[in-house]
Amino acid sequence: MYRALDDGIELVADDGQARVRLLAPQRPFADEFVDFRVDLHDHGLNAATGVRTIEGDGLASWAKTLAESYAGWDGAQSWESLERDARIHALHDGRGHVMLRFVIRGPRAYEEAAWEASVSVNLDAGEDMRGLAREIEIFLA
């Protein structure tokens, strides 16, 4: 399940425990850079990092492509931010559901010793994914 927030998007796992929030998008230099925060919460895990992208690094089009592929795809489809501080892996189960695994790294994601945390949520492949793709497009605009 996903929902729009005043300052972002929240995705919640079926059990209600795991949560992913994409928050506070901003253009810090009034140019093509878009920064936002990713918060992950799940059974005692609380992790957050800032993410820098160039016009969202194609996140909106990636999510739209997934939404249009509601019948499914083989293997994982992945997105990664400019500085490798955020990744999303999407798997389709062939039965109408998409598992999205959000991974964040910090504080310097490009370094081998950076910490890493991940949370997974499931969405319906059809209307939920289409709605999420729309929300991501609005979020990054």
Kindly report, residue by residue over 104-128, the tens digit of the pLDDT.
999 888 888 899 999 999 999 999 9
CB-neighbour burial class of residue 20 (10 A; exposed 0-12, middle 13-18, buried 19+):
buried
Predicted local distance difference test score (pLDDT) of residue 90: 98
CA-based torsion, 94, 95, 98, 99: positive or negative: negative
Q: What average pLDDT does the segment 91-100 reach?
A: 96
Predicted local distance difference test score (pLDDT) of residue 104: 98
Of 4, 16, 9, nearest to 41 (Cα)? 16
Residue keyed to tokens 């089009």: 61
**52 Cβ contact partners less than 8 Å away, ≥ 6 residues apart:** 33, 34, 35, 81, 82, 83, 85
Predicted local distance difference test score (pLDDT) of residue 138: 96
**Residue 130 banded pLDDT, cuts 50, 70, 90:** very high
